[in-house]
Structure 1
Amino acid sequence: MQTEARVGVVVEGGGQRALASGHEAAVDGGVRRFSAAHHQRNRQQGLQQQPHIGTVAHLLAGGVAGAISKTCTAPLARLTILFQVQGMHSDVATLSKASIWREASRIVYEEGFRAFWKGNLVTIAHRLPYSSISFYAYERYKHFLQLIPGLDRHREYASADVCVRLIGGGLAGITAASMTYPLDLVRTRLAAQTKTIYYRGISHALYAICRDEGAKGLYKGLGATLLGVGPSIAISFSVYETLRSQWQLQRPHDNAVLVNLACGSLSGVASSTVTFPLDLVRRRMQLEGAAGRARVYNSGLFGTFRHIVHAEGIRGLYRGILPEYCKVVPSVGIVFMTYEILKSFLSGTPDDD
């Protein structure tokens, strides 16, 4: 009431003019501070808002992003798989001599340069639906979770926001992996072949696995996959979105493409470090009985862990982590960068915030 009265005074004397002038300055300063705070809140909310696109466009952006990323990093992905499965049929002396350069040279000498992309067709066939489903499911799960009491205040509390991202990413990963798993198994078996070719392509591999091992053979290692893919995608999505929002909040004028690439790369390193042992166990379980070979692990997921640690030590669980790091930095970065570019393009909004 007093403020309103003072603002409404008709100033005639010098003292009154000074009082009114000082009060106007204070009010003006308050308005500017309020406007700045309001602008800051709007910027924070704007950074969390995603371009609105339809279901088909969402699936297309995610699928194309995954396919491009996998094609670009296929040589490093194949090296990772070959290192991961070395311990199944190799002795300790052979393993101690393994190196990225030696294995890459062997591939070029024995199989030719194109062999670095062995299994890449099935990788794309797997990655298109996998990435499409994971990105789309993540957005859907996140929207659903934000309606739950407690999580609906995700814009106000960082802990609720991180919880939404972690749970949404985990559920999205489990959904995508479950729906596309047979193609992932076929990809591993094609990429693990060296000089002896048993599976002649995608359709032949699917037929041969069903013939030799039954339909259940298409889902070998699914338990390890689901156990690892949930945390992997949860960590990847949450680290990426958290880093990206903070980066753009602190440095809003940085190039958005480079920000997406950097944040995606760091999120990939974080998720790979945490979940790599599960990925290694998954690969080895996928190759159990492949091409008529004898089974190596007969005691399930945790028995396989114990067998690897006993035979190769703790380091055995991280066999191939170096080429994985070399792969994941550009791979995940390219995925998120391409996804954001396509999403912005399909929604008609520029990606230059």
Structure 2
Amino acid sequence: MSRDVEHLKDEGSRGQVVAAGAIAGLISRFVIAPLDVCKIRLQLQSHSLSDPLSHRGITGPIYKGTIGTFKHILREEGITGLWKGNIPAELLYVAYGAVQFTVYHQTSALLSILPPPYQPPDATGSFISGAVAGTVATTLTYPLDLLRTRFAAQGTEKVYESLRSSIRHITKDEGYQGFFRGVSAAVVQVVPYMGLFFSSYETLKIPLAGLELPFSSGDATAGILASIFSKTTVFPLDTVRKRLQVQGPMRSRYVHRNIPEYRGVASTIRMILKREGVRGLYRGLPVSLIKAAPASAVTMWTYERAMSIMLKLNDEDAD
């Protein structure tokens, strides 16, 4: 069996897994940054007929659709507006990718050495490993996720001048707990998301590899399909997380002036349903799914290629 069709849990040392995960996160983030900014802007857009002015005298939604959001940001903020929050996001993706793949690798290895009566089937083992990896990575890197969202939510007015000033402001005005607003929604979301993603990916990876798709794209295709399925399932919790992340004393200074005050996951869901209906929980889903394809494809393809190169170099050194 070639390395291309082996399971992730069987590949590489701990250091190689960390390096491959970090490289995959770094490259993936840069590629999908503009789509991520568009998604966050749409998710934060609260709209009902009773809403006050939301932005520069506009009553109602600022953004209308993915393409409209993209054009609006370009027109109002320039091309750099599409990469707002990219510095904390790059740090987030590198750290998250490294932690995620490391924990996944280690958890899978631990599950594989359990005695037969307790050893889960491959699909179940992938789900458990993915859920554990996602939970640990999300919790450890959450402050960077919050900073990414807050910078992406800034319009032409700068709420925070720099990454350092944002950390200083949040620490002073909100305390250390301010860096973890919405973390419960993130953890509740990531367990089924990562579990579904990795179990779907591992299930699809081998049969797709057997199809001999061009440019070794079986890994990328498996990543796309797994991400679309898992992301759609848990998307409402992602919206809740974004709404909670921009709470605090600066709430009225973001590009959306009318972001309501939310407290807790359950109450946020109830408030969104009451004000905006079910549709409010799925704002930004189309662009999120558009983003999921290149993000997961680039992440998994880069991870597999980086790991393959490192393993090949190891083999050459061994010779």
Q: Which category describes the TM-score, using the shorter chain as reference length?
A: 0.7 to 0.9
Write the distance in 1 (CA, Å) between the matches of 2:8 and 2:135: 25
Higher relative contact order (CA 8 A, sep 6+): 2
Q: Choose from 180, 186, 192 the match for 1:231.
A: 192
Write the distance in 2 (CA, Å) between the matches of 1:182 and 1:97: 27
Q: TM-score, normalised by structure 1?
A: 0.79
Q: Choose from 16, 24, 43 the match for 1:65.
A: 24
Aligned to 1:83: 42
CA contact (8 A) 1:47 1:248 kept: no
Aligned pairs for 1:17-36 within 5 A: none
Stretches of structure 1 that go unaligned for 5 or more consecutive residues are: 1-41, 155-159
CA contact (8 A) 2:32 2:294 kept: yes
Aligned to 1:244: 205
SS at match of 2:158: coil
CA contact (8 A) 1:177 1:225 kept: yes
Q: Does 1:126 align with 2:92?
A: yes
Write the distance in 2 (CA, Å) between the matches of 1:220 and 1:231: 20
SS at match of 1:198: coil
Count of residues paired in the alignment: 302
Q: Does 1:344 align with 2:308?
A: yes
Q: Choose from 108, 112, 115 the match for 2:81.
A: 115
Aligned to 1:283: 242
Q: Does 1:319 align with 2:283?
A: yes
Letter in 2 for 1:165: S
> Kindly tell me: are residues 295 and 193 of structure 1, through their superposed partners in 2, closer, same or farther at Cα, counting changes over 3 Å?
closer
Aligned to 1:26: none
Write the distance in 1 (CA, Å) between the matches of 2:126 and 2:235: 21
SS at match of 2:247: coil
SS at match of 1:115: helix
CA contact (8 A) 1:151 1:164 kept: no
Task: Compare 218-227 and 196-205 and name the one that shifted more.
Answer: 196-205
CA contact (8 A) 1:165 1:237 kept: yes
CA contact (8 A) 1:53 1:343 kept: yes
Letter in 2 for 1:147: I
Aligned to 2:292: 328
Once the two structures are TM-superposed, the CA of residue 298 in structure 1 deviates from its matched residue by: 4.3
Aligned to 1:182: 143
Of Structure 1 and Structure 2, which has the larger fraction of its residues in helix? 1
Stretches of structure 2 that go unaligned for 5 or more consecutive residues are: 53-58, 253-257, 315-319
Once the two structures are TM-superposed, the CA of residue 54 in structure 1 deviates from its matched residue by: 2.5
Write the distance in 2 (CA, Å) between the matches of 1:57 and 1:274: 31
SS at match of 1:199: coil
Q: Deviations over 1:120-161 (max 9, x none)?
A: 11111111111000011101001111223447656xxxxx11
> Kindly tell me: are residues 151 and 114 of structure 1, through their superposed partners in 2, closer, same or farther at Cα, counting changes over 3 Å?
farther
Letter in 2 for 1:211: K
Aligned to 2:105: 139
CA contact (8 A) 2:66 2:287 kept: yes
Q: Does 1:104 align with 2:70?
A: yes
Instruction: State the identity as a percent.
Output: 31
Aligned to 2:56: none
Q: Does 1:95 align with 2:61?
A: yes
Aligned to 2:255: none
> Kindly tell me: are residues 87 and 151 of structure 1, through their superposed partners in 2, closer, same or farther at Cα, counting changes over 3 Å?
farther
Aligned to 1:306: 270
CA contact (8 A) 2:220 2:298 kept: yes
Task: Compare 295-304 and 98-107 and name the one that shifted more.
Answer: 295-304
Q: Deviations over 1:234-293 (max 9, x none)?
A: 1111111110112234x3x44462111111111110111011100000000000125254
Write the distance in 2 (CA, Å) between the matches of 1:208 and 1:200: 10
SS at match of 2:250: helix
Write the distance in 1 (CA, Å) between the matches of 2:173 and 2:123: 45
> Could you say which structure has the larger radius of gyration?
1
Query: What's the Cα RMSD here?
Result: 2.6
